[in-house]
Structure formats: C-alpha cells, structure tokens
Amino acid sequence: MFKSLIKYLIVFLISIAVVYQYQGYIAQLRLIPVGIIKLIFPENRVEPLVNKNISKDNLTSEILSANSFEVYVDEVPYFSGYNINQDGSLNNQHKSAGLYGKFIKNETLLELYTRDGSLITKNTITQFELPRNYDSHNSQGGIRGIFFLNDEPYAYMATKKIGCQNMSIISLKSKVEIFETDCLPDYIKIHFDGVGGASMHYKENILLSVGAPTNNSDLIRNLAQNNESNFGKIISINKASILNKETKAKVKNYTSGHRNPQGLAKVKGNIFSAEHGPHGGDELNILKENANYGWPIASYGTSYERGYVSASYKLNHKKNNFMEPLMQFTPSVAISDLTNCSKQLIKHYNREGCLIATTLRDKSLVIILLSDNFSRVIGYEKIEFGERLRHIAKRYDGELFQEDDGSIYITSDSGMVLKVKFKLIKD
C-alpha cells in the first residue's frame, strides 16, 4: 500500500514538472480548440454607455498653469463616461483605440473608436460588425489602432485563430482582412498592452507601429530583432495595394528593435516615434528607414519582471550599432501618443521642431522642443493634468487635428474627451 502511494506521488510530481516545463507548448495546443470555438461563438460585446444627461456643473473644466501660458481644459459632454460601466467600474474594452476630428460646415465632428469596435460621435453610437476571430484577450486585446485610407477606417486588432494568436488589419466597412502578422509564441505570456498601434501617412505608404507584446517572454521580445517577424517593428503598408483590392496588402518592415511604440508624428517630412521602455527608458526616436533601435538588447530602462530591478540591457546604443534615442525618460512617464504641435505653440516657441506627447503614468501633457535640424531635444515642458492621457485627436492622415484657435482634443482613461486650448500669456 505504502509503495503504491509513493509510486503515484512520484508520477504526480513528474506530471507537474512536465506541465511546468512545457506549459508554453501546452498553451499553444490550447489555441486549436479555442480558435475553433471562436469561429462558432463570437465574443459578446457591450455597447458603450454615455452619460447624456450630465449637468454642466459636473463636467471637468479647469485652467492649468504652464511656464509661459495657461491651458484651458474643458470636458466634451457627449463623450462623458464612455468607458465606465453602470456600476461605476472601468471597461477596458471601451478605452479609446483612436480619436479623429474633421470639419463639417465649419463645425468640429469628433469620432472616438473603442477597442471593441464601437464608434461614438456627438449624436450616435455605432457598433461595427467584427470578424469572429476578434479577441478581447481578457480586456488586454481588441482594437489597438485605427487608420484611414480614402475616408475608410481600418482597424489594427488582436485576433485568435485556430492554433495562432496574432494581430490583423481589417476594413471596418467590409470586415475584409488586408494583413496579418506572424503568430506569437509563448501564448500565456502575451500582453497586448504592449502591441503599439500608432499610424501615420508617409509618402505612398502608411506607417504602423507593431510592438513586441510581453513583459516577461524572451521568445516574444526577441522577435524585435528577427527580420522575419513583424513584431517589434514599424511596418510600412503600401496604399496602392489596399486601394487595388489585392488579396493582401503589401507590407514591409520599415524599422526594427522597438518595444512598444504608441505614438507617431510627422514634422517637415521627419517621422518621430514615442515608445514605452521597460522599467524606465521611455524613448523619443527619429525614424530612419532600416534602422535598428536596439530592443531587447539596448535600453536605458531596467528589467523588473522577476520582482527585482537589474541593469540587464546595454545602455549605450551607438556603441552596440543601434540608433540612439533623441531623448529617454527615466523614471518612466509611460509616454503614449505623439503629434506635431499646434500652430499656436509653433508660433509661441518660434520653431517647427515642436511635438506634443501624452503620458499615462505621469498623467501629463509634454511639449518637446527640437533643434532646428531635428537632431536633438533642446528642452521639454510638462503640464500636469492628473489624468491618464491616451489619444490626441488626429486628422485622417494621422497628423494633428486642431481648430482655428489652436484647440486640440485628448482622451483620458477615466472616460473623458478633453478640449485643450493654450492661452499664451504674451497674447
């Protein structure tokens, strides 16, 4: 009897060890039945709630002070509470995937796209029909970016297919998939908050940031240095291949060695990116085609995945044959979106080299000033908002949407769209 118990115990312990050793492979096998189930039973999505009866007194309205100007901040009423559930909790799948603005008869029309495929405007909430392989991934996935071509919206979203977890680009109008990435390894260590999603029209192409979505998987991180993978890259999508309705869009890797780039901006033909570091080491980069930006080999951040901080990356990018960032933030500000400055700020600072960035952890808006040849950062100013700021409203070409008085619009993770106006003191 005792020998039998010992035998069963040994078999049990060996089974646990095997499962632990090969948990990644077991998880990948799990994608096969899960992918089949998703084809049969699509995910249930809940329409966002907007508090249309909110009183003016309950809307956010404040004046913030910067060094040489004031910032007037007013909440846009028809978006109030767009990512808040009825019980007051936050709905991550209703966070903004993109905010776009345009003028219709001289009036501003804002379009807010959520991660689960809803479009919120002043008068309507529309839910797009998404492919069955759409994957919210425990509220970490969903749609992570929106871009437009000929006024048609395209979504960059997490997808779960039979035996494969990856990212796809689909037309929200037709549901047609125009591109999909390679499949991610190490399924249980995927973290789609790190998958990028910024876009910008550039010449005959659309640039799209694709991060390496993990906090603790070497297999996923190392894809940033694998030229056969799209992860950890800025990819270039040929516009003509989309418009010609080719089976798949023509896509190539534009730059490599990125961790989680969430912002792209264009100034005088120069493309800039804003990128989350690990523990510190957030970056502002100027992009050069075919350049390598170092991740996961070089970073000014440190590793904290095992509960302790260690200097596990090479610090000097240039000496290791990588592009140095124009600027790095340590401690991290969790830099998010990025755009060119409003005409008001360009006039105020008397320079074209001017960028606006939102931050999540630092809850601030950052104005970054560049040298005349855009080769270095000469200074920056932070304006504290006390809100996790995510997306800045863009035009359909990916550049800043601004009103005639220089006002811009920003989404917050607390369920607000904020109108931001810079009131220059010297005015």
Choose among 38, 170, 56: nearest CA to 113.
170
Q: Does residue 381 lie within any of the structural domains?
A: yes
* Residue 43: pLDDT over 80: no
The residues, ordered by sequence, that sit 6+ positions from 244 with a Cβ below 8 Å of its Cβ are none
Q: Classify residue 212: in a domain, yes or no.
A: yes
**What average pLDDT does this structure show over 141-158?**
97
Beta bridge partners of 164: 161
Query: Is the model's pLDDT at 40 over the cut of 90?
Result: no
Asked if the model's pLDDT at residue 237 lies above 60, the reply is: yes
| Number of other CB atoms surrounding residue 106 within 10 Å | 6
Average pLDDT over residues 137-162: 93
Whether residue 110 is contained in a domain is answered as no
Q: Is 150 within a domain?
A: no
Asked if the structure places residue 60 within a domain, the reply is: yes
How many domains does the chain divide into? 1
Predicted structure pTM score:
0.91
CATH of the domain at 80: 2.120.10.30
Write out the residue range of the structural domain in which residue 74 sits.
53-101+193-424
**How far apart, in whole angstroms, are the C-alpha atoms of residue 333 and residue 240?**
38
Proportion of the chain above pLDDT 70, given as a percent: 88
Residue 380 maps to a domain: yes
In a domain? residue 287: yes
In a domain, 273, yes or no: yes
Cross-sheet strand order for the sheet of 251-256: 196-202, 205-210, 233-238, 251-256
